Structure formats: C-alpha cells, structure tokens
Amino acid sequence: MVRLAPIAAGLPATVPFVGPETLERQAGRPFAARLGANENGFGPSPRAVAAMQAAAGEVWKYGDPASHDLTQALAAHHGVRADNIIVGEGIDGLLGLLVRLTVAPGDVVVTSDGAYPTFNFHVTGFGGSLDKVPYRHDAEDPQALLDRARQTGAGLVYLANPDNPMGSWHDGAVIEAMLDQLPEGTLLVLDEAYAEFASASAIPAIAADDPRVIRMRTFSKAYGMAGARVGYAIGHPDLIAAFDRVRNHFGMNRISQIGALAALQDQDWLAQVVARVDGARQRIAAIGAENQLTALPSATNFVALDTHRDGAFARRLVDALASEGVFIRMPGAAPLNRCIRISCAPDPELDILAEALPRALSTLQGFFFT
C-alpha cells in the first residue's frame, strides 16, 4: 500500500474543478460551446502567438528561472520595482506557494463560503483550518471577513475583487479601508484575476511595499493565455523574496514567458478584448432575460444568471445544457448556487447558447424548489 503523509491521508481524493475535457470524455463527444471555465475565447494577442511560435524551436531550453524580462516589464507596467514582483505558474500556483510559506498545520485562514475553491484546496492541503463567512448581497463581505479574522486570529484573509463566481466587485476605496482595519499580523490575499475587466474605480490605490497585502494577477483571463499558466503577484519585497524558498525555480515554461511578455506589450489588443467581453456580457444578459433569467452585474468575463429557483434546479439546468453540448458551471454554495455562470465568448458560441437554453429549460418544466 502507498503510505501517504498524515495531512494528505486525511484529505478527500477530489479536485476543485472537473475539467471540460473530462466531461467530454465521459459524454463521448466535444462541447459545441465551451462557456464554463472563464477562459477568454477571443484569444491572445496575435503578437503573443507569433512570439510563441518563434520561440518553439528553442523549447529545448529551460525557462529563465528568474523570469527576468517579464518581471522587469511587469514592474514598469505597474510602476513598481522588480523586487515587488514574483512570476509563477498562474494564480493557482502562486496561491499554493503563498499558503505553503505562511500557513502551518492548524492555522486559521478566513475566506468566503462559495469563493474560489482552489485557494481552499491549498489551505487544507497544507493542514490549515478554513473559517468561512457568507456572501452578502451576492458579494464577498469585507466587514464580515475582518470580524472573523479578529475572532480567529487568522494569518490570511482571502478576497477576490472582482469576485468569482458572482462577478461582483467592491470600489477600491472599500479595499483600502479594509486594509486599515486588518488585524495586526494578518495578510490580505487580494485576488485580482479579473482586474483588467473592471473599471478603474474598482482597483485600490495600494503601495506595492505595503506589507499587509499581496495582490495576485494573471495572463489567463483578459490576456487570453489560460493554457500558458502565467500569473504574478505584487507585494512587499521581503514576502516576494520568500517565494524563492519554496517555488519550482524551473517551473515557468519558456514559451509561456515569451508569450506573456509579448501580450503585455500589446495593450491595444487588450483594449479590444475588454470591449468585446463587454459586448458579450450584454448578449448573455439578453439571452438570460429572454428565458426569464436575470443577469447579475459583472466586472469580469462571465455573467451569473439568477434562475430564481434553488441549487437543485440550477444543477439540473447545468446538466441539461451539457446534454445540449453547452459547457457552463455554477456556484457551489447556497444561496449563490441558485445561479448559473456563463463565460463570455464570441458570437458563434453565444448563438449556440441562445438556441440551447430554451430547450434545456423546457426539459425542466414542472421542476421547482426542492
């Protein structure tokens, strides 16, 4: 028998998300519309694609373990120093490293019930104890997070702004005020994966050297490079330097590093994508309204549609759409799970959604609250 370490042996053999490829294999056919993983179907900058194609012939080389060129470019882009930046294998990889650095077995970590589950996966994987507060008005509740951090002595507090899975957001001033109330010794983990889609007012004015917070950003969403696995964190130099103690120093793909640098340098393409995502949000809201589903306000590249029923109904609707060849997801915790979540995509995929949604709903006629 394989002998697992005690923490791992006590965990369930589950993953935060089941990938669409797994669902396609189970169904024996591909999805006609891939609208569930918050990927950017509008794609990366053509300049990024060309740069990665040109780099493919040198894939025999390891990536630069310091991600020097990308780090320098990110520092210039954000107006910070290079020692405020750490590049890693997506926000997911960086969250895992951060938890490994800061959470000892039994340490309390505060988050929201229904918030991004991969963070929870890392906390439990390193033996931390999760303490969750409910959402308030379909948004994470900064005051409740602060109150629970004080009550529990939490070392980390996780908040996404804008939020996944609801698409909600707080004004940057709310986050700034939250920092001023943060208990001494508590670090705010501010997940800004969707920041490029939000208005400028949603982005807090926080000094990169502020030791109370670490900010997570990604090339997976607005830059359209989810498969490249490139993320970065902005934080105090002492915390950023600590990542070298635990990170996989050759974990960054060379082609991904080069592609991310080219994507960052093409801000015109980014602006075009943000505009197209805004149009897709409006289209998804209209499709929902045609089917008596209400779109919640979103500052992300997805829209949560309120079914006005419960989680059991929403789950059946997700499954019914899968049977129609449409991959979507839904929040995992009540009362958020009354909604379904649909990623923005080009019109051909939304055309498929528009045709499939009324058919899927018709199969659920007579199914109400359970």
Question: Higher model confidence: residue 123 or residue 370?
Answer: 123
Please choose, from the candidates 187, 195, 247, the residue with its C-alpha nearest in 3D space to the C-alpha of residue 216: 195
CA distances from 85 to 71, 118, 122, 185 (A): 6, 22, 21, 21
> In degrees rounded to 5, what are phi and psi of residue 347?
-55, -40
Is the pLDDT at 263 greater than 90? The verdict is yes
Predicted confidence at residue 367, as pLDDT, reads 65
Coil/strand/helix, residue 214: strand
Tokens at 322, concatenated: 């899968």
Tokens at 83, concatenated: 């020692």
Rounded Cα distance between 261 and 62, Å, is 17
Span 120-162, pLDDT tens digits? 999 999 999 999 999 999 999 999 999 999 999 999 999 999 9
Tokens at 38, concatenated: 């918050």
Rounded Cα distance between 135 and 142, Å, is 9
Mean pLDDT taken over the chain: 97
Predicted confidence at residue 1, as pLDDT, reads 76
> CB 145: neighbour CB atoms within 10 A?
25
CATH numbers and ranges of domains, the chain: 6-43+268-362 (3.90.1150.10), 46-265 (3.40.640.10)
Rounded Cα distance between 345 and 343, Å, is 6
Rounded Cα distance between 253 and 145, Å, is 36
Binning pLDDT at 50, 70 and 90, where does residue 369 land? very low
Is the pLDDT at 355 greater than 80? The verdict is yes
DSSP secondary structure of 119-146: HHHHHHHTT-EEEEE--BTTB--HHHHH
Average pLDDT over every residue of 175-181: 97
Rounded Cα distance between 87 and 96, Å, is 13
Average pLDDT over every residue of 340-346: 98
Rounded Cα distance between 158 and 294, Å, is 28
DSSP secondary structure of 27-59: HTS--SEE-SS---TT---HHHHHHHHHHGGGT
Tokens at 108, concatenated: 């309390």
Do the beta carbons of residue 118 and residue 274 sit within 8 Å?
no
Average pLDDT over every residue of 15-23: 92
Please choose, from the candidates 170, 168, 190, the residue with its C-alpha nearest in 3D space to the C-alpha of residue 339: 168
CA distances from 82 to 5, 40, 77, 101, 209 (A): 37, 28, 11, 20, 11
Tokens at 161, concatenated: 């702004």
Average pLDDT over every residue of 6-27: 92
Average pLDDT over every residue of 31-58: 98
Binning pLDDT at 50, 70 and 90, where does residue 16 land? confident
Predicted confidence at residue 111, as pLDDT, reads 98
Coil/strand/helix, residue 172: helix
DSSP state of 329: B
Angle, CA of 334, 177 and 271, to the nearest 5°: 75
Span 87-110, pLDDT tens digits? 999 999 999 999 999 999 999 999
Binning pLDDT at 50, 70 and 90, where does residue 368 land? low
Do the beta carbons of residue 110 and residue 158 sit within 8 Å?
yes
Rounded Cα distance between 369 and 329, Å, is 20
Q: Which residue has the tokens 């995502």?
A: 277
Q: Which residue has the tokens 């989810």?
A: 226
Span 276-323, pLDDT tens digits? 999 999 999 999 999 999 999 999 999 999 999 999 999 999 999 999
User: Which percentage of the chain shows pLDDT scores above 90?
Assistant: 96
Question: Any alpha helices (H) in the chain, and if so which ranges?
Answer: 6-9, 20-27, 46-55, 68-78, 90-102, 117-125, 142-152, 172-181, 237-242, 254-264, 267-290, 311-323, 347-362
User: Which percentage of the chain shows pLDDT scores above 70?
Assistant: 99
Lowest mean pLDDT among 205-219, 298-312, 354-368: 354-368
Predicted confidence at residue 3, as pLDDT, reads 92
Residue type, 75: A
> CB 43: neighbour CB atoms within 10 A?
15
